[in-house]
Each structure stands twice: as C-alpha cells, then as structure tokens.
Amino acid sequence: MHTVRIAAVQMVSVTRPEENLQTMRRLVSEAAARGAAWVLLPEYWPLMGIKDTDKIAFAEPLGNGVFQTALSEAARQNGIVLFGGTIPLQIPDKSKVFNTMQVYDRNGECIGAYNKMHLFGYSGLGESYAEADTIAAGSNAPELSADGIRLAAGICYDIRFPEFFRAQLPFDVLLLPAAFTYTTGQAHWELLLRARAVENQCYVIAAAQGGLHESGRRTFGHSMIIDPWGEVLDVLPEGEGMVMAELEAARLQSVRNRLPALKHRCM
C-alpha cells in the first residue's frame, strides 16, 4: 500500500433526487479541491424517501441512469476514484432493488460494484425497519481494488458480521457507506467500526447519513476514518460535510509488524 488522501462525505439526503445530486456534486468537488484522491459517499445518498418503497420508482438499470451518469462524471471531472455510496439498481422483475455501491476510476469508468448482502431488520423504541421488503440481497462479496491497493467493502448493516470481512482478506482498507439509525448508531456504530479496524489491522473509512430526514427518520452520522490501531483520525458528528485523512503505508506496516495478529490466525 502507498499513501493516499481520502474523504468520506456525510449527507442528510432529502426526498428529491435532483437536490441530492447537486449536493453530491458539490461535496465531491470540495473534497477533490482539498486534495482527496479517493472519495466515499454515504448509503442512500440519492434518496431518503418518505416510504421505503419510494426508491423502487427511482431504480436504474445497470449501466444507465442519472445516478450512474452523475457518479461517472464526478469521478472524471474531479480526477478522483469515487466510491459511489449506494444507489438503487433494478432487479429483473422490478419488484425490489439492489442496494449497490459502484466504484469509478479517474476516467469515469465503473471498475467494480457490490450489491448489499446483509439486509437490516429492527424494531423497538417506536422504530421498525425491514430492508428485505424492498431490497434484494446480493449474492457475492466484493472484489475491489483501486490504485493497486487491496480493498474490502460492506454497506451499513454488513459491519455487524466480522466473518464477512475476514472472507475478503487480504486487504488494507475497509470502506463502509451507511445510513445507521440514531438508536443503533448511538449504541454500536463506533464500537463496530473500531473493532473491524483492530481485528483486520486496516484503515476503516465510513461515510454516513447524519441528521433528521423529511420522513422523520434520524440517522446517526459520525462519519469517520479509523487507523489500523483503532484510533479515530477524523469524525463528523452530524450534518452535511466530510472527514479527511491520509492513509499511510508506514502506519499500516508498523501496526502489522509490531503485532502480527493476521499471521497468527489459526482458522
């Protein structure tokens, strides 16, 4: 791994995709102007609907649509590698969507994609979520890299499944777009992210939704970048903006050389 500067964008997405598109373009351009070579967007950045079914109407066929075009253009125009948060993609019968993260290179070409596998379900404290009602689960773990750096990726709820990331080893950087609820985020968000960083001795980059949405849903925010020792390098508690940090090859190797836990694995 070599050193790379990365930004994780935090949004408070609204119900109108055209506004979210403008916000995405503006924040990606700002990140690039501040020296980011890679930019990660949050889950559901194009739309946080009033109802969970709203995203089905905006789902795009793979390779075509305003969200994918905007991501490609943002990567190309800013000369960055863009990890596209998630967008809704059509499944064959159009009854549900794939919740998909795509990766675009500096030429605006899509170089990888991942359909979220673990689908969130929760009920309590007046909240209820069942992603499986509107999202079709992906069937394959990510196989991603950028600039010769080995990557792992997950989306939001995936972070609760450590074996999912262990199956992606070896990697140096773990990417996680998310829209954690305030309730679960307050309890577990930082704990889970730091645990994944420590156990895999990797950088963790998490881009979140962070605020009160028009549907009344409140997301936890706290987009953050964590180093391989579990130290939080930057965090944005709430609201629109970004976190940034240098991912340093020397820091990664220092942690792995001093405590070679990955080499000591028995299973």
43 is catalytic: yes
The pTM score is 0.96
156 is catalytic: yes
| Active-site hit among 55, 60, 96, 116 | 116
Mean pLDDT in runs of 10 for the chain (267 residues)? Answer: 93 98 98 98 96 93 97 98 98 94 98 96 77 93 94 98 96 98 95 98 98 94 98 98 97 97 93
Q: Helix (H, G, I), strand (E, B), or coil: what is residue 220? A: coil
CA distances from 267 to 46, 84, 96, 223 (A): 40, 33, 37, 32
Q: Angle at the Cα of 182 (from 178 to 186), degrees rounded to 5?
A: 95
User: Which DSSP letter does residue 239 get?
Assistant: S
Query: Is the backbone of residue 24 left (phi > 0), alpha (psi -120 to 50) or beta?
Result: alpha
| Active-site hit among 43, 60, 131, 238 | 43
Q: Which residues contact 263 (CB under 8 A, 6 or more apart)?
A: none
Domains of the chain in start order, with CATH, are 3-263 (3.60.110.10)
**pLDDT, tens digit, 9 for 90 and up, residues 78-93:** 999 999 999 999 999 9
Predicted pLDDT of residue 267 = 82
| Active-site hit among 131, 156, 202, 238 | 156
AA identity, residue 31:
A
